[in-house]
Homo-oligomer: A and B are copies of this chain.
Amino acid sequence: MNDTKLIDIASALGISVTTVSKALKGYTDISKSTRAKVIEMAETMNYIPNSVAVNLRTNETKTIGVIIPATVHHFFSSVLNGILEEAEKRGYLVIILQSNEKYELEKKQLALLIQKRVDGVLMSLSNETDDFSHINEAIRKNTPVVLFDKIAKRVDCSKVVINDAKAAFDAVSYLINKGFKKIAHFRGSYVPQNSIDRFLGYKRALEANGIEYDSKLVYVCDNNTDFEDGYENAQKIMNEHPDIDAIFAITDLVAIGIIKYFNEAGIKTPDQVAVFGFSNWFMSTVISPKLTTIDQPGFEMGHTAVSILIDEIADIKEHRPVTHQIIELPTRIIERESTVK
């Protein structure tokens, strides 16, 4: 536990702490000779600056916080990888917290992060969250926040998202163009923005193509930890509406539940009912038939969210005005077996 500190180097060299500090930080008012001596001594004494002391003095921690709503499975692991990579590249550490889709927890965790003096925070909202004062409060305290994926339009901060409505519109339009006529939608719960947007994209695509929207064909899947929800609703819809010929699912997980049921019940995919997923999760190539889906660029989303956040941190530090950006990452259809006859 023999941490060497500035004062150790200083007394070893018979100079002041100030000089040591300045030499190490490249101040120009230190002669080359003493600078060399200091650097060498720091080397041999294996000096490592105490980050906590530096943080206190400089009022920055070079750390960002990340709050994600769900477990680190699936889509969020891609985002996380993007976050970790970009943060490391820019010299920031990242603290991860999971809100488990709970508003209260999310609020508490955000408070904890700003208490810990992180320089900024990245967050994706919980399904429960419909009050955003905690976020505004953080921003007011000069801790920049950037929202990704599950965002709130009403919060004034940077956001990086995909255009869920457009992606869903494209997906359903694709199905219509393929000749499917009675297309159901397995949607998510009612509050998260992306659940709403995907639903709206579905509805608009129908209307744009002269197909009447039928609310009876919309089922709610609000469990996003396993595929049981998709499985059960597939069973249900085949009883209630056996004549559907396609389902647009809000996530690949739901879609896989559907396909699982269809495989077991002897319902042919895509011949009797086609299935379209969302997110391009890893397992969408594992299932048989392979799932047609929307590629959602998680890695890139993490990347750019970090990038924007760190830029804003710098802006605030330099007292520049910060301008919030809304970045919309492109999605694309990945056509596989579950929709091609």
Contact = CB atoms under 8 A, between A and B. Distances in A.
A331 interface: no
A61 B1 CA distance: 16
A51 B117 contact: yes
Interface residues of A, number: 44
A260 B263 CA distance: 17
A93 B66 CA distance: 11
A284 to B, nearest CB: 9
Contact of A288 (B50, B98, B288): B288
Please state the number of chain copies in the assembly: 2
A314 interface: no
Given A3-B141, A97-B84, A98-B81, A56 B52 contact: yes
Nearest to A91: B112
Contacts of A114: 48
Given A81-B71, A94-B95, A52 B55 contact: yes
Interface stretch (A72-80, A124-132, A160-168, A189-197): A72-80
A287 interface: yes
Contacts of A52: 52, 55-56, 61, 117
Nearest to A100: B85
B97 A63 contact: no
A318 interface: no
Contacts of A81: 71-72, 98
Contacts of A94: 95-96
Contacts of A282: 73, 283
Interface in A248-289: 256, 260, 263, 282-283, 286-288
Contacts of A48: 111, 114-115
A81 B53 CA distance: 31
Nearest to A287: B286
A3 B55 CA distance: 16
A216 B63 CA distance: 50
Interface string A21-59: 000000000000000000000000000111111011000
Q: Which 7 A-B pairs have the closest CB atoms?
A: A72-B77, A283-B283, A52-B55, A1-B142, A51-B116, A52-B56, A283-B286
